[in-house]
Structure formats: C-alpha cells, structure tokens
C-alpha cells in the first residue's frame, strides 16, 4: 500500500486557466500510480451539473474528475454549487440540495458564509477519511482581495486541508509573468508559503523558446516551475463551461448525419451532446440560425436554466417556427429536460418560479403539458426504451411536472416501472440527461439516416477512458512529477 500523501491543491491566476482539466489529469495519474484519489472543490459555479448515485446534484467538473479517478461521484466532492439563473442571481445548492436563490450581493456578504464554510469543511473531512490523496481545485483567481474575508474555496480551503498548492497560469492569454508574480505577492506570508510551485498551462509552440522565461519566472518568484504543459486539441475531456460552444457553430456537411443543437441563451448540461460530437457518422453543430436549423436531419432542443425565457426568445428570433417547419419536412426533433417542456403544448408557471412569464404555448410537437413547481427532481435512473429491453442509464435534474395527454406513448420506462418522456413519430422528449450516452438510443435516433453509412457504432465509454489516459500521459511528459510527489510527502 502506498504511503499517504498530502492533499494537492490547484490554484489559479484567473478563471479558465485549466485547473479543472489538470485536477482530472492528476486524479488519473494518482490512480495509475496505485493511490486512491478523489476530487474536491468547495464551491463551484456552473450551469452544467450532474446527479450522484444517491440522487443529489454536483458540478459536472467534479463528476468528470471522479470518473478520471475511477470512483463514483458524491456531493462531498462539491458541497456548494451555484447555478446562475440571471446575471446577478444564482440557485444555491448545498450538499446536493437547493436551499434557495441569492443575488451576488447577498451571497458574497459575510452573512451565511460561516454555515457554507462549515459545510465545505465537513464534506472535505468525510472525503479525506475515504480517499488519498485529495485533489483540490480552487475557483477563479486567488487574488480577489475584496473577497478574501469570505473565501472558503481558495487558499483558506488549502490551509484547512494543509494542502500543497500549485499555481496554474494560462500563458496563451498573455501576461503570464505579471499574473504569476502578482498572484503570489498579493498573498499573506502564510499563504505564500503554501504555494510550492508554478504550472504554466496552454503553451503553444516550441517549448525550448520558454526555457529562459522559465528561469526568469523562478528567479523573480522564488518558486520552481514544475511544468510547462503544451496546448492540446486532440484530447477530449468534457468541458465545464459553455464558453466554447460558439466555436462549434457550422453549417451542415454533406455525407454525414447533420445534427443541430439549438443554441439557447440559458443552455445547460451541454455535455449531453458530447458523444455525438465524437461519433464519426455525425456532424454536430450549435445554432439558432433559421436556415441552419432547416438543413439538419436531427434537431436537439437542450436543457435550459430559464425555460420560459428561452422559449420566448425562440419565438422572437424565428427558431421555434424553423424547428416546427423542419419537423414537418422530415427532421427528427428531440427535446431534453427544458427542451422536452418546450416541445409540448404549453408551459405554465402560476407561481412565477422562473420569473414574470406565467404561461407560453409550446412548439406543439408533443402532446404534453408542463407546470413549473418548486420541487427539484435530482436522481440517477436506469431505464429501457419503449420496444427495447436493453438497460440504459441517465440522470434527472429538473423543476416542473410534465403530463402526457391524449394517451401519448412514453419514450421509456424506468426499472421502478415509471413511464418517462413522450414519443410521437419523429418527435421525442425526455427528462433524462445522459440518454445520448446509451448506444441503444443513439442507434434508434440515427437509424432513419444511416442507410448510406458504413461506420461502426461508437463506444463512448471506452473513448472517455482512452481520453483520460491520454490526458494523464500528456501531463506526465511535461511536469516534474518527482518534485510534485516530494511536495506531497507528509
């Protein structure tokens, strides 16, 4: 059995510097090296969430990191989750359950932070008893001086865990010397001592060209640069944020099955579509352009954090009418979660749970009706598609209750005997996130369009395992792993 290690903490000079991906890489590296790692992020802010086996909600990034570590995800890995519902308001989820909505002003004041900090520390303690080492991730920049007193996710969490801290900087965005030096110098003396090394991420070009820069950075900061990690495009790990979706907008391609994901303003759980992005039979693109929607063989209407607002916007910009027209002309239309609700006859919100819109007609492609409710459903589900005995897996995270009308057929039945979703010719709706990760559903979805294709079905589970191993290999090659292990000796 390997000797216990200190926790490893990835801090950032800013947001989107690569902390989540590096945490996933080290979860896989430690697993490969015979340890039993687990990820931890005290507080995450993301629309992309996941349901644990126990039926609670955490950030998707920690679920990915747990998968890289080869363990089931748990709320202790992300005890506080913020899901933005507007520019200034977020739903606050503690230990997997929502406790209400708060504005940024309310959340970042001192009131209530003691309870959140206590919840985070308790979750970490439970996790640390079961796993070693814990791979912690900070949030955003560690240099937000105005938030230091209320912080429980960055260096105050590293202090609580007695973790060795690696400072991650994104060289691709420029200003790497100033961001690294400033991030270190702005810390208290005690916190500076916790930072053991520097990781330069997303380097483009010949690594030899940064050799002098590496020495200069070490000299001015008094810390070793323990890795310069090249930018990569050929390793595919699920992303936490939807910032890159705009880059995936493209027109339909000849010779493939063209699938359009409707680009919503409040789109959530976009990782539902990752498997289709990797399937060689498919060209997947994100769009709300009317002409691009009409060219699709399949249109996917995704989940939304503000379903009624997004439905109103689809009607305003003409996308709703384009989806209905495409369906009439032969396209298959599938709605997931909020998208399922939009495909029905109407959505009502009598208590104003989502906002000021109390009722809107849906697209009318499915004979269902949805009423928004305060209760949030969060669970993992095993199910079988109507007419298929193959066991499938997914998870639900939604507010609202949808009823089928006029004796409509369900799309699936859970192992508990509950009918789920709705199925009408070339139109389907479901609350099941992850349904597209199941080959039984993928093959049913693509079947009407595969007569000219010879490519074999895509094994997404095997693909993900290969990507975690490739990520670990890539990071191993470009970090000083023996020195990092020395930082972790107790």
Q: Which among 397, 467, 451 has a CA at the least distance from the CA of 91?
A: 397
The secondary structure of residue 270, as a DSSP letter, is: G
Cβ atoms within 10 Å of 55's Cβ, excluding its own:
17
Residue of 74, 266, 398, 433 marked catalytic: 433
Q: Is the peptide bond before 133 cis (omega within 30 degrees of 0)?
A: yes
| Rounded Cα–Cα distance for residues 329 and 332 (Å) | 9
Q: Tokens 């890159």 identify what position?
A: 244
- The phi and psi torsions of 63 (rounded to 5 degrees) equal -65, -40
Q: Which among 48, 45, 228 has a CA at the least distance from the CA of 140?
A: 45
Task: Note if 433 is an active site residue.
Answer: yes
* CA within 13 Å, CB half, 341: 27
| Rounded Cα–Cα distance for residues 396 and 283 (Å) | 26
C-alpha angle 263-264-270 in degrees, rounded to nearest 5: 70
Q: Which among 145, 228, 154 has a CA at the least distance from the CA of 185?
A: 145
* Contact between 93 and 79 (Cβ < 8 Å): no
**Which segments within 66-215 are labelled E, that is strand?**
80-84, 89-94, 97-103, 134-137, 164-170, 195-203
Task: Note if 220 is an active site residue.
Answer: no
Residue of 337, 392, 398, 422 marked catalytic: 337
The secondary structure of residue 184, as a DSSP letter, is: H
Q: Please tell me whether residue 461 adopts helix, strand or coil conformation.
A: helix
* Contact between 314 and 262 (Cβ < 8 Å): yes
What is the Cα Rg of the chain in Å? 23
Cα-to-chain-centroid distance, residue 127: 21
Which sequence positions are flagged as catalytic?
A: 337, 433
């Amino acid at each position: 059995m390997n000797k216990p290690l200190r926790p490893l903490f990835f801090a950032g000079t800013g947001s989107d510097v690569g902390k989540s991906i590096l945490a996933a890489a080290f979860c896989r590296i430690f697993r490969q090296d015979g340890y039993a790692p687990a990820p931890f992020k005290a507080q995450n802010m993301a629309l992309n969430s996941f349901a644990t086996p126990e039926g609670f909600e955490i950030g998707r990034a920690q679920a990915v990191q747990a998968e890289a570590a080869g363990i089931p995800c748990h709320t202790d890995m992300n005890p506080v989750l913020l899901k933005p519902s507007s520019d200034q308001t977020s739903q606050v989820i503690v230990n997997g359950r929502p406790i209400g909505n708060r504005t940024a002003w309310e959340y970042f004041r001192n009131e209530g932070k003691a309870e959140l900090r206590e919840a985070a520390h308790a979750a970490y303690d439970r996790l640390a008893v079961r796993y070693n080492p814990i791979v912690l991730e900070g949030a955003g920049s560690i240099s937000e001086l105005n938030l230091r007193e209320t912080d429980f996710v960055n260096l105050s969490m590293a202090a609580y865990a007695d973790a060795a801290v690696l400072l991650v900087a994104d060289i691709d965005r420029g200003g790497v010397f100033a961001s690294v030096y400033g991030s270190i110098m702005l810390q208290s003396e005690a916190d500076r001592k916790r930072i053991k090394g520097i990781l330069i991420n997303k380097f483009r070009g010949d690594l030899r060209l940064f050799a002098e820069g590496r020495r200069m950075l070490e000299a001015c900061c008094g810390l070793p640069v323990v890795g310069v990690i090249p930018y990569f495009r050929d390793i595919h790990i699920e992303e936490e944020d939807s910032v890159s979706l705009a880059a995936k907008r493209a027109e339909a391609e000849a010779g493939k099955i063209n699938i359009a994901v409707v680009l919503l303003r409040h789109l959530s759980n976009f990782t539902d579509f990752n498997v289709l992005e990797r399937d060689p039979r498919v060209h997947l693109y994100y769009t709300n352009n009317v002409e691009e929607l009409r060219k699709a063989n399949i249109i996917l209407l995704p989940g939304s954090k503000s379903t009624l607002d997004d439905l109103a916007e689809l009607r305003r910009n003409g996308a709703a009418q384009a989806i209905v027209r495409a369906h009439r002309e032969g396209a298959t239309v599938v709605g997931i979660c909020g998208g399922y609700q939009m495909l029905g006859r109407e959505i009502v919100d009598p208590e104003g749970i989502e906002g000021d819109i109390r009722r809107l007609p849906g697209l009318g492609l499915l004979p269902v009706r949805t009423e928004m409710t305060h209760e949030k459903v969060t669970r993992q589900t095993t199910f079988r598609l109507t007419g298929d005995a193959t066991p499938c897996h997914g998870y639900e995270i939604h507010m609202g209750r949808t009823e089928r009308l006029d004796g409509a057929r369900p799309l699936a039945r859970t192992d508990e005997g509950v009918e789920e979703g709705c199925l009408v010719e070339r139109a389907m709706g479901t609350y099941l996130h992850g349904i597209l990760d199941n080959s039984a559903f993928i093959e049913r979805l693509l079947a009407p369009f595969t007569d000219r294709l010879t490519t074999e079905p895509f094994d997404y589970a095997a693909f993900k395992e290969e990507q975690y191993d490739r990520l670990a290999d890539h990071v191993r090659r470009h970090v000083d792993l023996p020195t990092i292990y020395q930082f972790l000796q107790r």
